[in-house]
Amino acid sequence: MTFSKKSSSQRLAWIEGTRIFAAVMILLYHAQLLMTHYAFTPQPTGVAHNLTLMGEATDRLGNTLVASILSFPIWFGFQFVDVFILISGFSLVLSLKGKPLEPIPFLKRRFLRILWPFWTVAWLSYPVLWGIGKSTNSYIPDPWHIFAGLTFPLLFDYAAEPLLPTSGPWWFVSLILSFTFIFPYLWELLQRWGSRNLLGVSLLLTLGYRTLAVYVFGGHPTYVVLDTPANWLPFVPFLAKLSTFVLGMVVAKAYGNGKGPLFWQPRRALLVGILLYAIGFICQFYWSGWIFADALLPIGLTLCCMVAFRSLSNFRGADSAMRWLGSRSYSYFLIHNFVIDRTIQLIVGDNLSLYYLLLPAMLLGTLILAEVVDFTTPAIQHLIITGWRTVNRALTKYPVSPRESWNSAAENASREPTCQNRGSLTNHRSITATK
């Protein structure tokens, strides 16, 4: 792969703009659901019936033309979850910068990049939630779920049950960890099989699995509120969205070679994006359409966002602003549900005027808290690592060099080193999370 200097030095600005836009749309989606008490989610009853349901739900937000226009796209903010997955596959390939992939260092670096911000949010949020709950006599996470959340991912299941009572959107963290875990193997297959073969196989696996999820497992997509035998659990594992992630990888590889949709003219990208999105939009209202909808919607949305944010980057300062905002998108996503849930439940209630008045404050407040998290994470990381090193040194029975691995320590403890195992000693580097 041959990356240009510009593309290999930093992530693309339009991608960062898409990240923060996706996070904002997910916040608005959850806020609108809470405010209307889940008045509308897509149902497998056809387009016409869903439009009727959506019109009735929109009336709860103010029976005006402005309210209808503004609320319409927000009902579908959940679709940006799959945009995150598509961008994740793209960004992981881009992060390699054309260099060989070393699986163990890669996995350690990426896992910690996901988990350190999560741990920071979890460790800081539980005391705050407890304090708010006590002072307002409202919801407080029970001790078990606090313990499970604080120790994630050591305690979790595919339903992300330890996380859901704290913050519903946190189920997504388990999914991203799954994709990170399988990425080295997918990358190897991409080199062996080529882009077309890997994408074709992943698409067949995804569509086949989603067919089973709908017609055999009795599940429904995560964005649907419907009573089915397995609820939304069959659509949580990575197989349900594998082709979207692989597509991001394939596009990134093509981009590195100076090819692919990122080099399309804006008009072509926009037309293709709108067409794919329109097909996916219709599919989400039918049982059979659930098989295909999530494979089409993120492609259409990402192409449209690419055109929009590339155009926006032509304005002075927009490029830097998108990069800065995009770097806060993950923490923004982790925090947003706390902000909207506590604000709507404890302050807004059913007061529609107050909802619209405080909505900008919720958007900005979440961004401020995201900045606090990103600023605090390195300090917490340093504190935890320093504490662990201190305990490790105090409890280690035999002198061990800081750069020796646990295997090396065991070998030294046995006091029977051989030439072979002396040559196999591995270095142990301090754990760091890159930003």
Instruction: Enter the pTM of the model.
Output: 0.84
323 and 13 in contact (C-beta within 8 Å)?
yes
92 and 114 in contact (C-beta within 8 Å)?
no
Q: What is the pLDDT of residue 234?
A: 87
Q: What is the pLDDT of residue 127?
A: 87
Task: Tell me the pLDDT of the chain (435 aa) as tens digits.
Answer: 544 444 433 448 999 999 999 999 999 999 999 999 999 999 999 999 999 999 999 989 987 888 888 899 999 999 999 999 999 999 999 999 888 999 999 999 999 999 999 999 988 888 888 888 888 888 777 676 676 667 666 655 544 455 666 788 888 998 999 999 999 999 999 999 999 999 999 999 999 999 999 999 988 998 898 888 888 888 988 999 999 999 999 999 999 999 999 999 999 999 999 999 999 999 999 999 999 999 999 999 999 999 999 999 889 899 999 999 999 999 999 999 999 999 999 999 999 999 999 999 999 999 999 999 999 999 999 999 999 999 998 898 776 555 554 444 444 444 444 333 433 333 333 333 333
432 vs 435: CA distance, rounded Å? 10
φ and ψ at residue 154, rounded to 5 degrees: -65, -30
Q: What is the pLDDT of residue 1?
A: 52
255: buried, middle or exposed (CB in 10 Å: 19+, 13-18, 0-12)?
buried
Q: What is the maximal distance between C-alpha atoms in the chain? A: 82
Q: What is the pLDDT of residue 152?
A: 67
207 vs 230: CA distance, rounded Å? 18
Which 3 state secondary structure label does DSSP give 383? helix
Q: Computed from CA positions of residues 20, 22, 23, 24, in that sequence, does the dihedral angle turn out positive or negative?
A: positive
φ and ψ at residue 187, rounded to 5 degrees: -65, -40
358 vs 355: CA distance, rounded Å? 5
232 vs 368: CA distance, rounded Å? 32
Q: Would you tell me how many other CB atoms lie within 10 Å of the CB of residue 192?
A: 9
